[in-house]
Amino acid sequence: MKKITPLSQQSTSRKTIKQPLKSKWLGNIAHRLVELENKYRHHKFALPVASLVVFLLIAGILMVALRDSNPVLINRNGQSSIVVLHIDGVDKVLPTREKTVGDLIDNADIKLGEHDVVEPALDTEIDSDDFRINIYRAAPVVVQDESTKIITSSAAQTSRSVATQAGIEVYPEDNVTTELSKDFIQDGIGSKVVINRSTPTTLNLYGTQLSLRTHAETVGDLLREKGVVLGDGDSVTPAADSPLTKNTQIFVTRFGIQVVTEEQLIAMPIETVEDLSLSFGTSAVRQVGADGKKSVTYEIETENGIEVGRRLIQEVIVQEPVKQVVARGKAFNASADKTAVMNAAGVAVSDHPYVDHIIRKESGWNPLASNSSSGAYGLCQALPGGKMASAGADWQSNPVTQLKWCQGYAVGRYGSWEAAYNFWVANHWW
């Protein structure tokens, strides 16, 4: 589909959906219950249990009644959201009208310590019910950096992140590990992060000076580690079996050739961890990664002083990339009305999270949502909306008919709802 601004980001007014009598009756009941729910949700913390009870009544009525009627989508425009807040080891269920995680924390007057960690990030939009927020309090930790011991506190979830949070510069080649303290008198009770520093050295490769760090013990070990391949005519100083010490200067030379050296990036690897403590569609960076660097050397062929060709002769790792660790939310609990529509449209249960995310972002689950600037229409913002007539004559108002068309579009264009979701996350349109 053409890239457009999702309806969830536009100011749109909802219209009443014409429904069969039975569906309208059910909708009226459901809407009345939502009004009661909203009455309690006006209070920041008061009666969250009552709010949940009303919400469960909605679910119960829909689960029973929708079996014999067309599914009805409840208009929740302007309603508050239910948030599950994990703090100090306890889950608290809160109704909120705040737009972001940071807004909720500020409004709830929750005090954050300097090294506390909030997942997802403070600027993450609260855009669904059962939205999960985790606040991890910093705990005492000792960082052993060679002979230097630093006592700090941290809630970071990787060893390298703890060291970084403590303000310590850690090089990509440094080994950073976590272990239990064995000396409670010296270190106190808690975890201990140990930094095993890499050795700085300098390599002059065919006249290009490269600053390196390594755990190699000899010159030869370093050259192998960094990917230096010695060819005919290459000489190494000092000898390959020479021990490496701090700031050792190494030379690799080859006479009679003309070379050019370029620096290129090595893309950082990204490790994704599936996490049920985070809501589907949200994520949290638990370790910030960094791209690495490599030095690429070419032998140049010239004629009359003009380059006519080049040949790759060395590709040396100058700086290792640092892995980025990302937690991706897996917790998902759709409301009964949305579940009924997805089931009626033939959407597999395993695809419900992907469908909910896309539809929520595109239209806020409003089958009458219309983009005045582009002409996109309906749950998944079909462009033009008339395309959905292929799924049924009631395409203008029936969410099931619309979602059937959306399913055909998702599978036909992307191969699956999951692939469509991945595209949406990367591009914010589909």
Confidence of residue 212 (pLDDT cuts 50, 70, 90): very high
Does position 27 have pLDDT exceeding 60, yes or no? no
Cis peptide before 269 (omega within 30 of 0): no
Q: How far is CA 123 from CA 283, 284, 329, 351, in A?
A: 12, 11, 16, 27
Concatenated DSSP letters of 19-80: --HHHHHHHHHHHHHHHHHHHHHTSSSS-HHHHHHHHHHHHHHHHHHGGGS-------TT--
Same domain, 308 and 359: no
Same domain, 166 and 222: no
Q: What average pLDDT score do residues 106-135 get?
A: 93
pLDDT at site 13: 38
Q: What average pLDDT score do residues 311-330 get?
A: 96
Does the residue 74 lie in any domain? no
Does the residue 76 lie in any domain? no
Same domain, 242 and 275: yes
User: In this structure, is the dihedral angle defined by the CA atoms of residues 297, 300, 306 and 309, taken in order, positive or negative?
Assistant: negative
Most confident of 125-134, 252-261, 266-275: 266-275
Q: How far is CA 20 from CA 225, 345, 394, in A?
A: 72, 18, 12
pLDDT at site 190: 72
Expressed as residue numbers, the domain containing 373 is 1-16+335-430
Enter the pTM of the model. 0.76
Lowest mean pLDDT among 12-16, 66-70, 172-176, 233-237: 12-16
- Looking at residue 268, which CATH number applies to its domain? 2.20.230.10
Half-sphere exposure of 430 (CA within 13 A, CB side): 32
Same domain, 210 and 319: yes
Same domain, 164 and 245: no
Does the residue 339 lie in any domain? yes
- CB-based burial of residue 257 (10 Å sphere; 0-12 exposed, 13-18 middle, 19+ buried)? middle
Q: What average pLDDT score do residues 354-382 get?
A: 94
* Distance, CA of 145 to CA of 143 (rounded, Å): 6
Confidence of residue 54 (pLDDT cuts 50, 70, 90): low
* Distance, CA of 322 to CA of 270 (rounded, Å): 9
